[in-house]
Amino acid sequence: MRAINIFRILAGCGAVGGLLLTAAAAHADAVGPGQAVAVPCSESALVNAVDEANAAGGGDLILAPFCTYILTGAHSAGGSGGPAGLPNITTPITMTGLATEITRASYAPSFRIIEVDGPSQFPLAHGQLTLGMVTISNGDAALGVGGGIANLGGSVTVTGGGVTNSRASYGGGIYTDSTLTMTASSVTGNTASVNGGGIYRNAGSTTLLATIVAGNTPNNCAATTPSTAPC
């Protein structure tokens, strides 16, 4: 069902959908030896790949197609942002999949899935996360922000993917205080206990192109200044 939904979004975008699929394949083919890493379908493989990419100053991770990476525990304390399932993104990292999902196990303790750190929050960090054809799900930041993705001063770009069924106080799906761009993607079924069930924009810019933000609680989008809410 996840794969069907993603491909429906892409198909609905006409030529854009075809270009996204072509671009993802071309990206994988164009990357030379030592520049891209194929990540097997396991929690430890993905965690190790992110750690190694951060240590190398960035990297391109080719995730397993049609794989669900199930996170059973937090692999980052998260600092002031709270725990995260993956190591915090502190460098430019691209994750390209195909109907790929990264999710928190239903029995796991509360933690968001991904935190992206940038210099405005963490002076030595330059987190830039690019997700292609990857869905983030079942994150739980509890009283923190960004149940699926917390963008704290970095940049997040999502193409042909989405964030679903995640929870936080602000930004059940995504919390951002910097740059967020989503194309042919979706933010659905997320919950915030305070505001911004789908997306909460605290600062920075949010650009949504051919992207569905719907079915979130108590609202789909919110911002520090209501008139500038992104959707």
Query: 78 falls in which pLDDT band (50, 70, 90)?
Result: low
Query: Considering the chain, what is the average pLDDT of its residues?
Result: 87
Closest Cα partner for 83 from 44, 42, 113?
113
Once rounded to an integer, what is the mean pLDDT over residues 102-120? 97
45, two tokens: 């493989």
Closest Cα partner for 117 from 169, 76, 66, 152?
152
The strand pairing partners of 39, in sequence order, are: 63
Query: 214 falls in which pLDDT band (50, 70, 90)?
Result: very high
Q: For 113-170, how does the pLDDT look when each residue is reduced to its tens digit (9 = 90+)?
A: 999 999 988 999 999 999 999 999 999 999 999 999 999 999 999 999 999 999 999 9
Q: What is the pLDDT of residue 229?
A: 72
Q: What is the pLDDT of residue 226?
A: 79
Range name among 28-37, 119-128, 204-213 with the lowest pLDDT average: 28-37
- pTM here is 0.86
The strand pairing partners of 128, in sequence order, are: 92, 155
The answer to whether the CB of 216 falls within 8 A of the CB of 194 is no
Q: What is the pLDDT of residue 215?
A: 98
| Residue predicted with more confidence, 210 or 78 | 210
Tell me the residue ranges of DSSP E strands in the chain: 36-39, 59-63, 68-71, 92-104, 114-117, 128-137, 149-152, 155-159, 162-164, 167-170, 174-176, 179-183, 186-188, 191-195, 199-201, 205-209, 212-214, 221-223
